[in-house]
Amino acid sequence: MAGDKENAYTTLQVTELPDRVVVLLDRPEVRNAIDQAMVDELHRICQSLETHPRILIVAGAGGVFASGADIGQLRQRRRDDALQGINSSLFVRIAKLPMPVIAALDGYCLGGGAELAYAADFRIGTPSLRIGNPETGLGIMAAAGATWRLRELVGEPLAKDILLTGRVLKAPEALAARLITEVHEPTDLMAGAHALADRIASQDPLAVRITKSVFHAPPESHPVIDQLAQGILFESQAKLDRMQAFLDRKNQPSPASTLPSNAEATTEETKP
């Protein structure tokens, strides 16, 4: 993700940090609508994070997350384009990234933009957030994950309300439905995303990666996969070091226990 022309991004702003990558969707002229170029560049981000796993924070520039897929391109697509799963294959890849994905949502988060957010592990928003899937009003369906991810996230009744009536949720409704878990003022949104990333980064990275994989494993694979995953972690040096550090802290006398009690202090003070 170097800054030279060969690796430059035209639809994204990308910032690399040691333990995370921050990506801003940046097509202000169309409210960050997702077009083929953005899809291709997000695939490049995924390739990098699959090779060098880090937390991913996705947000939108200019007070908008993403207004949807680029309607100009979408109108020209036909059956063969739909069967390629242009957006859905990207969002599946994002959902399967080794480390957690945080979507920081401001303003419009509609259609394909909402489906991108549904693929994240965490969603936080601002009071101006508007999130939903109005695709049926355009003669199509939300086919990049909303028909199954949204039901898992908010339950069948609300998912049908969003998908079949084009209902768009405001921030309080999205928070009540747990579609988002935090609300921040726009000026604090990225700080909130980084605070969440900090909490993730304080955990053992291998334990986080394996836990995410096991969480999304098919139900029929449990409990065998849990036991196998735990077997891997039980052999890790991080497990030994972190547990030893916990025991060392637990066995250290607290400052309060080294001080004399009030009765002892009084006795000492009254001794001749």
Q: What is the pLDDT of residues 150-209, one digit of tens each?
A: 999 999 999 999 999 999 999 999 999 999 999 999 999 999 999 999 999 999 999 999
Instruction: Report which listed range, 6-15, 222-231, 257-266, is most confident.
Output: 222-231
**7 vs 14 pLDDT, higher one:** 14
Q: Following CA atoms 142, 147, 150, 154 in sequence, which dihedral angle do they give, to the nearest 10 degrees?
A: 130
Q: Do 29 and 156 have their domain in common? A: yes
Query: Residue 25 in contact with residue 14, Cβ under 8 Å?
Result: no
- The boundaries of the domain holding residue 238 are 205-258
Instruction: Report which listed range, 78-87, 213-222, 246-255, is most confident.
Output: 213-222
Q: Do 128 and 156 have their domain in common? A: yes
> Across all residues in the chain, what is the average pLDDT?
90
Q: Do 45 and 180 have their domain in common? A: yes
Q: Do 166 and 225 have their domain in common? A: no
Q: Do 235 and 148 have their domain in common? A: no
* 271 in any annotated domain: no
> Does 226 have pLDDT greater than 70?
yes
> Does 50 have pLDDT greater than 70?
yes
**15 vs 259 pLDDT, higher one:** 15
Q: Do 182 and 226 have their domain in common? A: no
Q: Do 138 and 226 have their domain in common? A: no
DSSP annotation string for the chain? --SSGGG--SSEEEEE-SSEEEEEE--GGGTT-B-HHHHHHHHHHHHHHHHS--EEEEEEGGG-SB--B-HHHHHH--HHHHHHTHHHHHHHHHHT-SS-EEEEE-SEEETHHHHHHHTSSEEEE-TT-EEE--GGGGTS--TTTHHHHHHHHH-HHHHHHHHHH--EEEHHHHHHTTSSSEE--GGGHHHHHHHHHHHHHTS-HHHHHHHHHHHTS-GGGTTHHHHHHHHHHHT-HHHHHHHHHHHHHHHSPPGGGGSPPHHHHHHHHH--
The lowest-confidence range among 110-119, 171-180, 223-232, 259-268 is 259-268
Q: Do 96 and 197 have their domain in common? A: yes
pTM: 0.87
* 272 in any annotated domain: no
Q: Do 90 and 152 have their domain in common? A: yes
Q: Do 130 and 196 have their domain in common? A: yes
Domain count along the chain: 2
> Does 268 have pLDDT greater than 60?
no
* 241 in any annotated domain: yes
Confidence bin at 5 (pLDDT 50/70/90)? very low
* 267 in any annotated domain: no
Q: How much is the pLDDT for 19? A: 98
Confidence bin at 271 (pLDDT 50/70/90)? very low
> Does 262 have pLDDT greater than 60?
no
Q: What is the pLDDT of residues 60-114, one digit of tens each?
A: 999 999 998 766 776 666 666 665 667 899 999 999 999 999 999 999 999 999 9
Percentage above 90 pLDDT, the chain: 80
**23 vs 272 pLDDT, higher one:** 23
Q: Do 80 and 106 have their domain in common? A: yes
Confidence bin at 264 (pLDDT 50/70/90)? very low
Percentage above 70 pLDDT, the chain: 85
Q: What CATH number is attached to the domain comprising 31?
A: 3.90.226.10
Enumerate the active-site residues.
135
Q: How much is the pLDDT for 258? A: 53
Domain boundary, last residue among 176, 201, 226 = 201
